[in-house]
Structure 1
Amino acid sequence: MANKTVIVTGASGNMGQAVVKKFLAEGYNVVGTIVPNDKAPFDIDDEKLEKVVVDLMNEDDAEKFIQNVITKYKGIEAAVLTVGGFAMGTVAATKTADIQKQYKLNFETAYNVARPVFVQMLQQTTGRIFLIGSKPGLSTANGKGMVAYSLGKSLIFRLAELMNAEAKGTDVVTSVIVPSTIDTPQNRQSMPDANHDAWVKPEDIASVISFYCSPEAATLREPVIKLYNKA
């Protein structure tokens, strides 16, 4: 396979590491971002993996990072933007500052990378961008008690729609991955009595993303990809 490059933000997270491993197995150059002072263990060692420390809430830093990737690898075939945050809170308990925090964690970190990546892909006329949505972001019925989080994630879906409208007629596609509860050690610890078999595994999410980057999926334009398993 010709050298292809994928950017994975939040590469040290459970989903991020699964995506990194999958694309490395597919022969991609993988550029994974980690936050400054990241405490998460990220021990994947591969000559095709480049780990970059960058604060994605800083628009200038994010743009510089993307430009460096373009210069080094001569293009970007895919970007998987897994960085985000979560918070509970009813309307009564949610202040504007809480909404701003979730907006920054879930929307700005995605937009600051997606925008320069999108511009590059339009020049290439090809590429896949994957944003991470959520059921509370997709449907307000699922967002009860998670007001700031639901509002922050809801913008991800609107962004994908706007980007796909701009990219119409090209092979640049933006999709939103919507997982149900992800089977992670942290979620198992916080919900020990849940049916873990019903959850979606990070490796399964990575496999679906990989498929959407394959030649077999070239004609697919699915903007919302729901990975609910049995939830």
Structure 2
Amino acid sequence: MSRNIIITGAAGNLGTAVVEKFKREGYHIIALVQPNKDEQVEEADDIYEVDVTDENAVAEFIKEYQMQYGELDALAMIVGGFAMGSITETNQEDFENMFKLNFFSAFHLVKGFLPIMKNQKKGTMLFVGARPALQLEDAVGKLAYAMSKKLIFDLAEIVGEETKETSIRSHIFVPSIIDTPQNRDSMPDADYSKWVTPTDIAESMHFAVNTPALQNTTFKLYGEV
């Protein structure tokens, strides 16, 4: 029987690593990518163009998923965004953009798939947090980003409380600086060897999904930064 995992942001640096890891481990990969971007995910079994920040688009995808696949083993919510901005530099539009990318991109999927997982009494939700949401000294100059990611921690915890009598699990992965080409370009003088790699995070996600003893765990993947 296929083990199904949905991976959002599957064409990005982290998404690609998560796709490759779970594919090697025998999962059926359902990759979600941005609409009209012609994004390719070579290792995916099926690819859907879905704007995960759009509540109606996600609802339509969930209907399609139920007809095509039925059960869901894991949901990896990787879509997100980053922006700088201090208190005085941040406006309402900045908050709305960050909340849309970092919170609603996960919330719409949680809202839709939680009833499915409750019905099957199992499943794992994988969230991506951020260190500035845990350590407020790191949030200085990143206000909207940090606060939008803080909501992810709250959402994951509430999901854990709502499903504590089941085998549904909710894990958060908190990287510091991820070693990506974009981050290297923006910080050319940094010591990349101290950064966490997308592969490290993907390995941790697979471990979490396949370790039932772990219940609603926060994985701090800070490297040496």
TM-score normalised by the shorter chain: which range applies? over 0.9
Aligned to 1:29: 28
8 Å CA contact 1:9–1:82 kept in 2: the answer is: yes
8 Å CA contact 1:161–1:223 kept in 2: the answer is: no
Aligned to 1:99: 95
Q: Distance in 1 between matches of 2:148 and 2:106?
A: 11
8 Å CA contact 2:160–2:216 kept in 1: the answer is: no
**Unpaired runs of at least 5, structure 1:** none
Among candidates 197, 204, 221, match of residue 193 of structure 2:
197
8 Å CA contact 2:31–2:41 kept in 1: the answer is: no
TM-score, length-normalised on structure 1? 0.94
**Unpaired runs of at least 5, structure 2:** none
SS at match of 2:64: helix
TM-score, length-normalised on structure 2? 0.96
For the aligned residue pairs, the C-alpha RMSD in angstroms reads 1.3
Q: Which deviates more from structure 2 when the two are superposed, residues 219-228 or residues 119-128?
A: 219-228
Q: Please tell me the residue identity of whatever aligns with 1:19.
A: V
Among candidates 142, 166, 173, match of residue 170 of structure 1:
166
Aligned to 2:42: 44
8 Å CA contact 1:70–1:76 kept in 2: the answer is: no
Query: Matches of residues 147-162 of structure 1 in structure 2 within 5 Å?
Result: 147-162=143-158
Q: Percent identity?
A: 37
**1:37 deviation in Å?**
2.5
Q: Distance in 1 between matches of 2:43 and 2:99?
A: 33
Query: Matches of residues 111-190 of structure 1 in structure 2 within 5 Å?
Result: 111-190=107-186
Q: How many residues align?
A: 225
8 Å CA contact 1:11–1:20 kept in 2: the answer is: yes
**1:38 deviation in Å?**
2.3
Q: Please tell me the residue identity of whatever aligns with 2:13.
A: N
Deviation readout 1:75-107 (Å, 9 max, x if unpaired):
100010000111000100101111111001100
SS at match of 1:99: helix
Q: Distance in 2 between matches of 1:84 and 1:59?
A: 16
Q: Please tell me the residue identity of whatever aligns with 1:99.
A: F
Q: Distance in 1 between matches of 2:66 and 2:99?
A: 27
Q: 1:43 to 1:101 in 2, by over 3 A?
A: closer
